[in-house]
Amino acid sequence: MGWNPRVLAGRLLGAALLDGATTGCLTIATATRAADAGLLPWDGEAGPAFALDDLAGQRRHLDEFHGKVVLVHFFATWCARCVDEMTSLQKLTVKTRGRTLVVVAIDVAEVELRVRAFFEALPVDFPVLLDRDRAVTKAWDVVSLPTTFVLEAELRSRLVTATDLDWPAPATVARLEALYPPPPPQDRTGKTRGSHGED
Amino acid sequence: MDRRDFFVSIAAATLAATLPVTAWAQAIFAPKPGPWRAVDLVTRIEITKPQGPMQAWIPLPSLNEPEWNRPGESTWTSNAATVTRVKDPRYGAEMLHAVWKDGEAAPSLEVTSRIAMRDRAIDLSKPGTAPALGDAESRLNLAGTDLIPVDGIVKQTADKIVANARTDADKARAIYNWVVENTHRNDATRGCRTGDIDSMLRTDNISGKCADLNALYVGLARAAGIPERDVYGLRVLPSQFGYKSLGAGSANVTKAQHCRAEVHLAGFGWAPVDPADVRKVVLEEPPANLAIGDPKVVAARNALFGAWEGNWVAYNVAHDVALPGSKQPKLGFLMYPQAERASLLLDALDPDNFKYTITSKDVAA
């Protein structure tokens, strides 16, 4: 399926309604399963590649995350749901440290000093980029915050959500782990082929 | 909102709009052109923690409308290296641009603007002889902006709203009623949030403050082919009709920014409109959270299509404003003082840390 903003928006809104309709009266068992309920499969193309400044002023390109599962997360500091979710994403980052997963947070059109102050109070271990003129937000057809795209290692979009999620929840992590690229092939000695071993 | 709700809303709005004013009993909100009022508006900025290149831009009242908004002289004092009065080339919005030398210990700028204003009211049952808009001005006030696109869902929504309206005035009123009926003011929104109206409609989260709600009104009307414009300004005096929510609460008007709207109608010229203030009355007018049928709300609603009170200063009608000398993206609108420290834009919605104050002093007109 190609990148169709109208289809995406409809699916996201439908998911949000479903999420709101089902999470209020669940048993504990189903609630566990529902942690990832807003995370929808998405087999469309990811939005176009971007290059944005991070909070340190460094230019960051989407391509540099090739080979990892990438959570492209659009947010704003004035959005209460986004604030809660930032903590959740940081917990995910800690939980998956050493794995091939990276969160890339993109702030939508806020004053840079406001964003800096926010992350001084709530430090995170992942890059925070600045979409100062909303160009990337528009290009990715994001209409509500937070919205997160999960890209597989080849930077193709596989999952998407337009609601805040419990990211470190086991069900959610399992969905992300399913996207991890296969480990590099090993030779018969158990060493990774192409590594800089002694032999 | 589904299709049925959409038309129920339209029907209810139309009914409300056609009921006689006398049905609404005690509340009175009836601006009419009368005596002029005048204020000295003093905007003072201080750049805290000065560092690196520093500059500031202060909007000046620059919309000269002889019948209701007359900017007077602006004077200033500053320790800036240069202070220049500059004008946005597209909309004519004026601002004072100050640039300090690096290392300035206490950058400050104080601007005093004298301005006179009075109530407006247009009898939309009696067309006058106002000239039509020129082609260029018509195009400007029908075009989309960064935050106010006029295609896609905006156009689709506008077409539904005006489907049964005949004249431009009917269409503008239908859109006004739709915005009043289908939006709510979200007081948790800090300042006047920059509202992308496409996003508001696509998510069905039609809320916000004046820069959201009146932007939606302007966008829907433009999409329906009616010239409209946002007018960005500041409440500077209390309401003479006793509406606490529609006036300045004190001489400190630092956070009293408010934008209104205007519709251009053949024979009438620019007419005042303010659906966002109807929603503000609903939310804030004591005892607060009023019903849409509350007499205070109805009185405001009946008046604010075709009239508004002259207790507010108009700065400009500009969109997508580039700050001269800045590398920042264009602003959606220029309603707040702006400044940069070390080439980074300060938070205009956080005046206490920026920092800036705006005070209003009632003077003889």
Q: Please give the full DSSP string across B124-190, using - where no structure is assigned.
A: TTS---BPPPPHHHHHHTTS--SS---SHHHHHHHHHHTTT--SHHHHHHHHHHHHHHH-EE-TTS-
Question: Is pLDDT of A96 > 50?
Answer: yes
pLDDT value at position A187?
A: 62
For residue range B215-236, what is the model confidence (pLDDT) as tens digits? 999 999 999 999 999 999 999 9
Question: Is pLDDT of A16 > 50?
Answer: no
- Helix, strand or coil for residue B98? strand
Question: Is pLDDT of B9 > 80?
Answer: no
Q: H or E stretch including A108?
A: strand A101-108
Tell me, yes or no, whether B13 and B44 share the same domain: no
pLDDT value at position A73?
A: 96
Domain boundary among B309, B329, B346: B309
pLDDT value at position A20?
A: 34
pTM score of the predicted model: 0.86
Mean pLDDT along residues A137-163 = 91
Mean pLDDT along residues B201-228 = 92
Q: Count of CB contacts below 8 A, A vs B? A: 37
Q: Residue B214: which CATH number?
A: 3.10.620.30
pLDDT value at position B183?
A: 85
Tell me, yes or no, whether B160 and B232 share the same domain: yes
pLDDT value at position B188?
A: 52
> Which of B203, B330, B344 is nearest residue A112 as measured by Cβ atoms?
B344
Tell me, yes or no, whether B46 and B158 share the same domain: no
> Which of A114, A133, A144 is nearest residue B199 as measured by Cβ atoms?
A144
Q: How far is A111 from chain B (nearest CA, A)?
A: 6
For residue range B155-189, what is the model confidence (pLDDT) as tens digits? 999 999 999 999 999 999 999 999 999 987 555 54
Mutate to test the interface with A, among B345, B353, B355 (most CBs of A within 10 A): B345
For residue range B315-347, what is the model confidence (pLDDT) as tens digits? 999 999 999 999 999 999 999 999 999 999 999
Which residues on chain A are in Cβ contact (under 8 Å) with B193? 78
Tell me, yes or no, whether B131 and B278 share the same domain: yes
The residues spanned by each domain of chain A are: 5-177
Retrieve residue B78's tokens: 């500053």
> Which of A109, A111, A133 is nearest residue B347 as measured by Cβ atoms?
A111
Which residues on chain A are in Cβ contact (under 8 Å) with B340? none
Question: Is pLDDT of A194 > 50?
Answer: no
Tell me, yes or no, whether B291 and B332 share the same domain: no
Tell me, yes or no, whether B323 and B211 share the same domain: no
> DSSP state, A64?
G
First to last CA, chain B: 48
Question: Is pLDDT of A115 > 60?
Answer: yes
Mean pLDDT along residues A171-178 = 94
pLDDT bucket at B84, cuts 50 / 70 / 90: very high
Mean pLDDT along residues B101-116 = 96
- B14 backbone dihedrals φ, ψ, rounded to 5°: -65, -40
Retrieve residue B181's tokens: 């009926």
Which chain B residue's Cα is nearest to A76? B193
Question: Is pLDDT of B15 > 80?
Answer: no
Mean pLDDT along residues B284-304 = 96
Least confident of A182-186, B44-48, B114-118: A182-186
Question: Is pLDDT of B119 > 50?
Answer: yes
> Which of A78, A133, A143 is nearest residue B329 as measured by Cβ atoms?
A133
Tell me, yes or no, whether B146 and B229 share the same domain: yes
CB-CB under 8 Å, A78 with B189? yes
Question: Is pLDDT of B11 > 70?
Answer: no
pLDDT value at position B206?
A: 83
pLDDT value at position B62?
A: 95
> Which of B194, B203, B344 is nearest residue A113 as measured by Cβ atoms?
B344
Average pLDDT, chain B: 90
> Which of B193, B194, B346 is nearest residue A113 as measured by Cβ atoms?
B346
- Helix, strand or coil for residue A95? helix
Tell me, yes or no, whether B214 and B270 share the same domain: yes
Determine contact, residues B74/B113, Cβ cutoff 8 Å.
yes
Mean pLDDT along residues B146-156 = 96
CB-CB under 8 Å, A133 with B330? yes
CB-CB under 8 Å, B205 with A144? yes
Domain of residue B109, residue span: 39-116+318-363
Contacts of B120 (CB under 8 A, 6+ apart): B31, B33, B67, B68, B272, B307, B308, B310
Which residues on chain A are in Cβ contact (under 8 Å) with B344? 111-113
Which residues on chain B are in Cβ contact (under 8 Å) with A134? 146, 196
CB-CB under 8 Å, A143 with B202? yes
Which chain A residue's Cα is nearest to B189? A78
Q: B351 or A37, which is more confident? A: B351
The domain total for chain B is 2
Q: Which amino acid is at B174?
A: A
pLDDT bucket at B23, cuts 50 / 70 / 90: very low
Mutate to test the interface with A, among B202, B338, B344 (most CBs of A within 10 A): B202
CB-CB under 8 Å, A143 with B203? yes
Which chain B residue's Cα is nearest to A6? B202
Tell me, yes or no, whether B108 and B155 share the same domain: no
pLDDT value at position A38?
A: 85
Question: Is pLDDT of B191 > 70?
Answer: no
Opening angle at CA A106, ends B259 and B220, nearest 5: 30
pLDDT bucket at A46, cuts 50 / 70 / 90: confident
pLDDT value at position A32?
A: 40
pLDDT bucket at B207, cuts 50 / 70 / 90: confident
Which residues on chain A are in Cβ contact (under 8 Å) with B320? none
Tell me, yes or no, whether B243 and B347 share the same domain: no
pLDDT value at position B75?
A: 98
Topology of the domain covering A5-177: Glutaredoxin (3.40.30)
Which residues on chain B are in Cβ contact (under 8 Å) with A132? 328-329
Q: Residue B111: which CATH number?
A: 2.60.40.2250
pLDDT bucket at A99, cuts 50 / 70 / 90: very high
Retrieve residue A68's tokens: 């990892």
Torsion sign over Cα B161, B163, B169, B174: negative
pLDDT bucket at B196, cuts 50 / 70 / 90: confident
For residue B302, CA distances in Å to B27, B207, B271, B309 come to 11, 21, 14, 13
Site of tokens 């006058």: B128
Q: B250 or B6, which is more confident? A: B250
Question: Is pLDDT of A41 > 60?
Answer: yes
Q: H or E stretch including A138?
A: helix A135-139
For residue B313, give the nearest of B52, B72, B129 by alpha carbon: B72
